Structure 1
Amino acid sequence: MLVAAIVIITLALVFYSIGVWAERIQRTLKWWHAAFFAGGLAADTTGTVLMSQIAASRRADGVAAGGLDQLMAITGLAAIILMAIHLVWAVIVLIRDRANEKAVFHRFSIVVWAIWLVPYVLGAAGAMIGGSAS
Structure 2
Amino acid sequence: MSNLLIGAIVAMVMALSFYTIGVFAERKQGRLLWWHAVIFWLGFLCDSLGTSLMSRISGGHFSLTLHGVTGLIAILLMAFHAVWATVILLKKDQQAQVKFHKFSLWVWVIWLIPFVMGMFIGMM
TM-score w.r.t. the length of structure 2 is 0.91
- Written as runs of structure 1 = structure 2, the 5 A alignment for 1:104-119 is 104-119=99-114
After the TM superposition, which segments of 4 or more aligned residues of structure 1 sit over 3 Å from their partners? none
Q: Return the letter of the residue paired with 2:40.
A: F
Q: Return the letter of the residue paired with 1:71.
A: L
How many residue pairs get aligned? The number is: 120
Q: Does structure 1 residue 91 correspond to structure 2 residue 86?
A: yes
Q: Larger Cα Rg: Structure 1 or Structure 2?
A: 1
TM-score w.r.t. the length of structure 1 is 0.85
Residue 11 of structure 1 corresponds to 14
Residue 59 of structure 2 corresponds to 56
Q: Structure 1 stretches of 5 or more lacking a match?
A: 60-66
2:44 aligns to what SS in structure 1?
A: helix
Q: Does structure 1 residue 120 correspond to structure 2 residue 115?
A: yes
Q: What is the RMSD computed on CA atoms of the aligned residues? A: 1.6
Q: Does structure 1 residue 33 correspond to structure 2 residue 28?
A: no
1:56 aligns to what SS in structure 2?
A: coil
Residue 75 of structure 1 corresponds to 70
Deviation string, structure 1 residues 77-119 (Cα, Å, up to 9, x no partner): 1111000000111011101112211000000000000000000
Q: Return the letter of the residue paired with 2:46.
A: A
Q: Distance in 2 between matches of 1:46 and 1:109?
A: 21
Q: Does structure 1 residue 101 correspond to structure 2 residue 96?
A: yes
Q: Structure 2 stretches of 5 or more lacking a match?
A: none
Identity %: 47
